[in-house]
A = this chain, B = another copy of it.
């Protein structure tokens, strides 16, 4: 009897698939990393199911890769050593909403859009907003963030408790429902961002927020990237309560115009959003207007109604797709670094110059309030020489960020794409991370080949 047949007996036959299409769906993510198929895809329906599969895999030394929706960008979920892809899509319930505690308990297969639909009924929202409509389990696994983290924080900041199935099949809780705790070692923060290398997240207790009284969004264009970043720094220094501040470079606006038939000025552009009470917002927006004008803002447009605001953010969020649609037959390579705010303008300019030097085309954009930006380029994966140029460019951008106290990934995570930079970024601390990995997963079954490759 094959191990797949044994798995079918352990759960039910229909929870274990070897259908070719299903294997392929679980052999890739949304990045450029090559396909690699799992032996089987398993669909647990409960924590008990997960325990059974994990204990089985651990006993047999079979690689096990937790899978949400496959929206990762650095090959996190690709089973390069085969084994079991553990698809958590059946575990997608909202288990409990506690509005007065600002807490919600959910299963890992729920997406952030589904959660926000439920929370809206209570006047609440979940803040973390990456581009993709990822699952909350996946967002915790990669420590996702996105446009709103400058005000509300990243995924790690929202996680109050995780139920985790460890490689030996035991279930732990990493936190609790108190708003804060100084009890014991902080396992919440350790599991968040561990990318399925330490265990399987089967339940999340997350912090949520009241929907703000007033929201205002706007768009400001600048003559140079430096001017835009200087304005961002000044807005942050001034204490303005800004919820989103996104930079999109001129080449990217050009592509957005082309694909969406828009006529935005093709200049470095800030997309801004303010949250607060009516009176405070008015003062903040007026102050921000003064600041952007001081830094040579050429065009400034605020959107007051919800629909126009939604359209504005649609443009920002669809930027990657504008390049994908505009580059048939090519794969998107996106890199994601974060640097101290004072290094941001220099880093973005260096990246743009490096893109041109390598003769590639692409966007530079980012969550500039956090010093986090992405460079995105469309690659013909069959053209080895072009792939080599793209990899050299990626490496250049990462080295630049690391040399300035930054990180090789601000939000996308390590997966396979950034694993080669772990030792360079973390130095001796990488040995500590490996010691923790070995202590928790001595047989190395959990998502092997990710983060810890040497």
Residue of B276, B369, B451 touching A280 (CB-CB under 8 A)? B276
Cα–Cα distance between A142 and B184 once the two chains are bound (Å) = 10
A339 contacts the other chain (CB 8 A): yes
Instruction: Tell me the smallest distance from the CB of A167 to a CB of chain B, in Å.
Output: 11
A143 contacts the other chain (CB 8 A): yes
Give the contact stretch, choosing among A42-50, A173-181, A356-364. A173-181
A166 contacts the other chain (CB 8 A): yes
Cross-chain contact A433 with B180 (CB below 8 angstroms):
no
A149 contacts the other chain (CB 8 A): yes
Cα–Cα distance between A419 and B182 once the two chains are bound (Å) = 12
Residues of B within 8 A of A438 (CB): 439
A172 contacts the other chain (CB 8 A): yes
Cα–Cα distance between A440 and B435 once the two chains are bound (Å) = 8
Residues of B within 8 A of A338 (CB): 178-181
Give the contact stretch, choosing among A265-273, A318-326, A401-409. A401-409
Residues of B within 8 A of A414 (CB): 182-184
Cross-chain contact B193 with A185 (CB below 8 angstroms):
yes
Instruction: Tell me the smallest distance from the CB of A241 to a CB of chain B, in Å.
Output: 7
Give the contact stretch, choosing among A33-41, A95-103, A293-301. A95-103
Residues of B within 8 A of A171 (CB): 428
With A280-B279, A283-B280 in contact, is A186–B192 under 8 Å at CB? yes
Cross-chain contact B429 with A174 (CB below 8 angstroms):
yes
Residues of B within 8 A of A101 (CB): 340-342
Q: Which residue of the partner chain B has the closest CB to A211?
A: B239
Residue of B181, B184, B280 touching A277 (CB-CB under 8 A)? B280
A31 contacts the other chain (CB 8 A): no
Residues of B within 8 A of A440 (CB): 432, 435
Instruction: Tell me the smallest distance from the CB of A394 to a CB of chain B, in Å.
Output: 14
Instruction: Tell me the smallest distance from the CB of A357 to a CB of chain B, in Å.
Output: 25
A353 contacts the other chain (CB 8 A): no
Residue of B178, B194, B213 touching A239 (CB-CB under 8 A)? B213
A233 contacts the other chain (CB 8 A): yes
Contact mask for chain A residues 171-213; partner B; CB cutoff 8 A; 1 contact, 0 none: 1111011111111111111101110000000000000011111
Residues of B within 8 A of A178 (CB): 338-340, 370-372, 401, 405-407, 410
A413 contacts the other chain (CB 8 A): yes
Cross-chain contact A239 with B277 (CB below 8 angstroms):
yes
A81 contacts the other chain (CB 8 A): no
Residues of B within 8 A of A28 (CB): none
Instruction: Tell me the smallest distance from the CB of A148 to a CB of chain B, in Å.
Output: 12
Cα–Cα distance between A144 and B180 once the two chains are bound (Å) = 10
With A428-B170, A432-B166 in contact, is A177–B340 under 8 Å at CB? yes
Cα–Cα distance between A183 and B154 once the two chains are bound (Å) = 13
A331 contacts the other chain (CB 8 A): no
With A100-B341, A371-B179, A422-B183 in contact, is A241–B238 under 8 Å at CB? no
Residue of B170, B185, B279, B283 touching A190 (CB-CB under 8 A)? B185
Residues of B within 8 A of A428 (CB): 170-172
Instruction: Tell me the smallest distance from the CB of A286 to a CB of chain B, in Å.
Output: 9
Cross-chain contact A435 with B439 (CB below 8 angstroms):
yes
Instruction: Tell me the smallest distance from the CB of A302 to a CB of chain B, in Å.
Output: 17
6 contacts between A and B (CB under 8 A): A98-B342, A101-B342, A183-B426, A184-B193, A185-B451, A277-B287
Can you list the 7 inter-chain pairs with the closest CB atoms, starting with the nearest?
A280-B280, A189-B189, A177-B405, A178-B338, A181-B407, A172-B429, A279-B283
Interface residues of A, Cβ cutoff 8 Å to B: 98-103, 142-145, 149, 153-154, 156-157, 166, 170-174, 176-190, 192-194, 209-213, 233, 236-241, 276-284, 287, 338-342, 369-372, 401, 404-414, 418, 421-422, 425-433, 435-440, 451
